[in-house]
């Protein structure tokens, strides 16, 4: 049984590459994918790069019924001098295995995951878009393939990495958005699956997102599921506040996703000597700071947008405008620094990037 | 566009039927399935019975990433005089649409769902097993088929009904099981998806279920996600207590699944003049009643087992034995009555069954 040696089968039928000006997010996919299979007898095996192709499953395959899936999201960048750059991919590998643990999915060998990723990226190098702000989005995911309706962990899985060239998140540059404070629906709760990147966390937010959209907001501010009091996340991003010269972000409490952009921002701020604290932040406490006029900046953080400034919060009939709906100085500096490091335009003093 | 007229394409390659003595649960599937498609322009359309066949999807199909699925579970029974019986299927249809609403999936025409179900059952009539305790399990489910990685409701779906001949839930007759009281993991919380039959609720319980199994228990007792104080469900069943001659069950609170067996038991008990109350039940309150020696019976209820008596609860180092680990008189009477009505052996005074 082949467990380590990655075989490569190239397509004979390459797709035309889409225009770099109209990529959007997650609409186009490259010519190949990386695949690993799991079964009880052999563990994870048969690592291979193969032509991008459909998945064929029995209608009783567990993935259609009980949602035992996990995924990751990261990007490859077209760097200075044509280098292919990855940003802290080992953090995604570690997080995928933490998600696997929560979902009772067998963990993956971290070296094999990274080797598979690098092999796939090397094969698809020409698919990495070059325009400013574009990148090659990487989506590793695991699905249960066993055909059986019993409610229990599957005995067989597939791990797949697919790649999608994506456009700049902000077609017209970084800009602040309106956020709806959500008091009715819950994203996650202590003891649930909130810290895992698993399917059920994402669809659970659709209804609140729709409510936000109908009220003219771009995203939802999620409060904790127990008291509906403490701030947790914004949309599918982590959230930061700059209040009276200090930066605060909700502490990892067992229901918040451990964002890799979040982690990187905390490390950068510490390096810059800007005070940053992870702690419980109640919505009331934020409102008080707002009324005191000491809220300077608010921004979401994640792989897709890197930094997404908040221009206003909407709660019931109240609108709280942040920094005159403009992108704050710190938000801008963080965005420029992280994207600069990701593409090799800025020096990578923290050793975050690797070259493929 | 055909929206109402169900077309039927029969297989030319029927499978051999499995032995009725070793069916198990959800392992074998019949020769045909019912399918409906949805897209934005046409709504739900093209109802059809077709040969049971695999589903082929792009690796970027939303079902693999964001879990926007719902399902149902009900059974067809081989009744007296060879009649084919369904038990309150309209309740499953209504609940599926409530689940759809929570998951931002377009609702299905209830009449078309029922018509599709009956048509499929009629085609597969020979697949309904005849042995005592066996039945044809019916699994309707909806999956998003759109190829796109954006985190938002899909624009295309499939609704599918598959059928699986299943054995008696208790191979050796109804018997009480041990239950582990879970204080760490959470199944669902107010504002979340707990009342919907959606994939993410089920895999979220695997880790606690494994812990229970390792401790020699069959299932998990779920407490509320907010205070970890109130009893919600047992495994993937609703739960009932007979205490001091009265029956109590947790009230529908926004995180408990609205079981159809649960509903039927409440109606039966009322008809029989046995006091039954839906209310918040704290675990502490139950322990007090146990220590007072007034807990008479405890049982889980659901489509698969109908009635699953609890023989003991395990909490930390404590073991609380219920009714001497024997099946209680009421549990037995409810089981016999409901299964009797389902198969036509007992008179259906409440008009619950329909004949196909």
Residue A273 placed within a domain: yes
Domain that holds residue B201: 177-342
User: Looking at beta carbons, which residues of chain A come within 8 Å of B184?
Assistant: 191
Task: Report yes or no: A304 at the B interface, CB cutoff 8 Å.
Answer: no
CB–CB contacts below 8 A, A to B: 208
- CB within 8 Å: A52 and B59: yes
- B136-163: buried (b, 16+ CB within 10 Å) or exposed (e) per residue? bbbbbbbbbbbbbbebbbbebbbbbbbb
Residue A115 pLDDT more than 80? yes
When comparing pLDDT for B175 and B158, which is higher? B158
Q: Return the pLDDT at A173.
A: 72
Residue A352 placed within a domain: no
Q: What tens digit of pLDDT does each residue of A342-356 get?
A: 999 999 999 999 999
- CB within 8 Å: B64 and A190: no
Question: How is A167-228 classified by DSSP, letter by letter?
Answer: --SSTTS---EEEEEESS--S--TTSSTTS--HHHHHTTHHHHHHHHHTT-SEEEEEPTTTS
CA gap A288, A161 in Å, rounded: 45
Q: Which residue of A has its CA nearest to B25?
A: A150
Task: Report yes or no: B44 at the A interface, CB cutoff 8 Å.
Answer: no
Task: Report yes or no: B150 at the A interface, CB cutoff 8 Å.
Answer: yes
- CB within 8 Å: A33 and B59: yes
Burial-class residue A354 by CB neighbours within 10 Å (0-12, 13-18, 19+). Answer: middle
Residue B221 pLDDT more than 90? yes
**pLDDT band, very low/low/confident/very high, at B142 (cuts 50, 70, 90):** very high
Quick one: B115 and B212 in the same domain? no
Quick one: B152 and B224 in the same domain? no
The residue among A166, A185, A209 that closes a domain is A166
The whole-number average pLDDT for the span B336-342 is 96
CATH of the domain at A56: 3.30.470.10
Tell me the three state secondary structure of residue B315.
Answer: strand
Task: Report yes or no: A107 at the B interface, CB cutoff 8 Å.
Answer: no
Mutual angle of helices A89-102 and A260-272, in 10-degree steps: 130
Q: Which residue of A has its CA nearest to B254?
A: A185
* A203-262 residues touching B, CB cutoff 8 A: 203-207, 209-210, 225-228, 236
Residue B171 pLDDT more than 70? no
Instruction: Determine the distance from the C-alpha atom of residue B120 to the mean position of all C-alpha atoms in its chain, rounded to a whole number.
Output: 20
Please give the mean pLDDT across all residues of chain B. Answer: 95
The residue among B166, B196, B226 that closes a domain is B166
Residue A171 pLDDT more than 70? no
Residue B171 placed within a domain: no
CA gap A4, A16 in Å, rounded: 32
Residue B172 pLDDT more than 70? no
Task: Report yes or no: A201 at the B interface, CB cutoff 8 Å.
Answer: yes
Q: What tens digit of pLDDT does each residue of B149-162 get?
A: 999 999 999 999 99
Quick one: B29 and B93 in the same domain? yes
What is the complex's ipTM, to 2 decimals? 0.96
Q: Return the pLDDT at A175.
A: 87
User: Looking at beta carbons, which residues of chain B come within 8 Å of A53?
Assistant: 59
Q: What tens digit of pLDDT does each residue of B123-137 get?
A: 999 999 999 889 999
* B1-30 residues touching A, CB cutoff 8 A: 25-27, 29
Quick one: A187 and A147 in the same domain? no
Quick one: B73 and B148 in the same domain? yes
- CB within 8 Å: B206 and A152: yes
**pLDDT band, very low/low/confident/very high, at B66 (cuts 50, 70, 90):** very high
Q: What tens digit of pLDDT does each residue of B320-334 get?
A: 999 999 999 999 999
Task: Report yes or no: B55 at the A interface, CB cutoff 8 Å.
Answer: yes
User: Looking at beta carbons, which residues of chain B come within 8 Å of A69?
Assistant: 64-65, 67, 203
Residue B230 placed within a domain: yes
Residue A350 placed within a domain: no
Q: What tens digit of pLDDT does each residue of A54-107 get?
A: 999 999 999 999 999 999 999 999 999 899 999 999 999 999 999 999 999 999
Residue A355 placed within a domain: no
**pLDDT band, very low/low/confident/very high, at A293 (cuts 50, 70, 90):** very high
**pLDDT band, very low/low/confident/very high, at B262 (cuts 50, 70, 90):** very high
The whole-number average pLDDT for the span A206-222 is 94
Quick one: A136 and A192 in the same domain? no
Q: What tens digit of pLDDT does each residue of A217-248 get?
A: 999 999 999 999 999 999 999 999 999 999 99
The whole-number average pLDDT for the span A199-215 is 94
User: Looking at beta carbons, which residues of chain A come within 8 Å of B165?
Assistant: none
CATH of the domain at B329: 3.20.10.10
Strand partners, A158: A37, A143
Residue A354 placed within a domain: no
Please give the mean pLDDT across all residues of chain A. Answer: 95
Quick one: A74 and A184 in the same domain? no
The residue among A117, A134, A166 that closes a domain is A166
Quick one: B188 and B269 in the same domain? yes
Quick one: B155 and B192 in the same domain? no
Quick one: A129 and A191 in the same domain? no
User: Looking at beta carbons, which residues of chain A come within 8 Å of B254?
Assistant: none
User: In this structure, what is the dihedral angle of CA atoms A167, A86, A202, A148, given to the nearest 10 degrees?
Assistant: 120
Mutate to test the interface with B, among A29, A203, A237 (most CBs of B within 10 A): A203
Residue B173 pLDDT more than 80? no
User: Looking at beta carbons, which residues of chain A come within 8 Å of B207?
Assistant: 102-104
Q: Which residue among A59, A201, A225 places its CB closest to the CB of B162?
A: A59
- For chain A, state the CA radius of gyration: 21
The whole-number average pLDDT for the span B215-233 is 94
**pLDDT band, very low/low/confident/very high, at A1 (cuts 50, 70, 90):** confident
CA gap B336, B162 in Å, rounded: 27
Q: What tens digit of pLDDT does each residue of A185-201 get?
A: 999 898 999 999 999 99
Nearest-CA distance A349 → chain B (Å):
33
Residue A127 placed within a domain: yes
Q: Which residue of A has its CA nearest to B24?
A: A150
Structurally, chain B folds into a number of domains equal to 2
Tokens of A132: 């400013």
Mutate to test the interface with A, among B28, B64, B219 (most CBs of A within 10 A): B64
Q: What tens digit of pLDDT does each residue of A246-255 get?
A: 999 999 989 9
Quick one: B226 and B275 in the same domain? yes
Q: Return the pLDDT at A231.
A: 97
Task: Report yes or no: A38 at the B interface, CB cutoff 8 Å.
Answer: no
Quick one: A59 and A156 in the same domain? yes
Q: Return the pLDDT at B2.
A: 85
Nearest Cα to A193, choosing from A257, A262, A279, A278? Answer: A257
User: Looking at beta carbons, which residues of chain B come within 8 Å of A184?
Assistant: 191
Residue B276 pLDDT more than 90? yes
Q: Return the pLDDT at A172.
A: 66
* B164-193 residues touching A, CB cutoff 8 A: 164, 184-193
Q: Which residue among B68, B193, B202 places its CB closest to the CB of A151?
A: B202
The whole-number average pLDDT for the span B295-302 is 98
Task: Report yes or no: B127 at the A interface, CB cutoff 8 Å.
Answer: no
CA gap B120, B114 in Å, rounded: 10
Q: Which residue among B64, B104, B186 places its CB closest to the CB of A141?
A: B64
User: Looking at beta carbons, which residues of chain A come within 8 Å of B210?
Assistant: 104, 153
Q: What tens digit of pLDDT does each residue of B194-203 get?
A: 999 999 999 9
């Amino acid at each position: 049984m082949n467990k380590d040696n990655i075989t490569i089968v190239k397509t004979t039928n390459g797709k035309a590459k889409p225009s770099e000006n109209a990529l959007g997010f997650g609409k186009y996919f490259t010519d190949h994918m990386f695949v690993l299979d799991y079964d009880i007898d052999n563990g994870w095996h048969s690592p291979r790069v193969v032509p991008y192709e459909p998945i064929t499953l029995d209608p009783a395959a567990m993935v259609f019924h009980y949602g035992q899936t996990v995924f990751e999201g990261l990007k490859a960048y077209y760097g200075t001098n044509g280098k292919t750059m990855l940003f802290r991919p080992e953090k995604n590998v570690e997080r995928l295995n933490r998600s696997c643990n929560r979902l009772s999915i067998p963990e993956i060998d971290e070296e094999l995951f990274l080797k598979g990723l690098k092999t796939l990226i090397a094969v698809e190098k020409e698919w990495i878009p070059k325009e400013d702000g574009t990148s090659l989005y990487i989506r590793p995911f695991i699905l249960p393939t066993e055909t059986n309706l019993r409610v229990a962990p599957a005995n067989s899985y597939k791990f797949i990495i697919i790649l999608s060239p994506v456009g700049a998140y902000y077609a017209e540059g970084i800009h602040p958005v309106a956020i709806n404070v959500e008091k009715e629906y819950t994203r996650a709760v202590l003891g649930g699956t909130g810290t895992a990147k698993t399917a059920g966390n994402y669809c659970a937010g659709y209804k609140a997102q729709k409510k936000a959209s109908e009220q003219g907001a771009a995203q939802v501010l999620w409060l904790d599921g127990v008291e509906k009091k403490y701030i947790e996340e914004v949309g599918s991003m982590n959230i930061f506040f700059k209040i009276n010269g200090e930066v605060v972000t909700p502490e990892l409490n067992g229901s918040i996703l451990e964002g890799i952009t979040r982690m990187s921002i905390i490390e950068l701020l510490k390096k810059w000597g800007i005070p940053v604290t992870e702690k419980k932040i109640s919505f009331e406490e934020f409102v008080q700071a707002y009324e005191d006029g000491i809220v300077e900046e608010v921004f979401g953080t994640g792989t897709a947008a890197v930094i997404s400034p908040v221009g206003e919060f909407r709660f019931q009939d109240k609108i709280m405008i942040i920094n005159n709906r403009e992108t704050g100085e710190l938000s801008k500096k963080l965005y420029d620094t992280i994207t600069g490091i990701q593409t090799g335009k800025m020096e990578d003093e923290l050793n975050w990037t690797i070259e493929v």
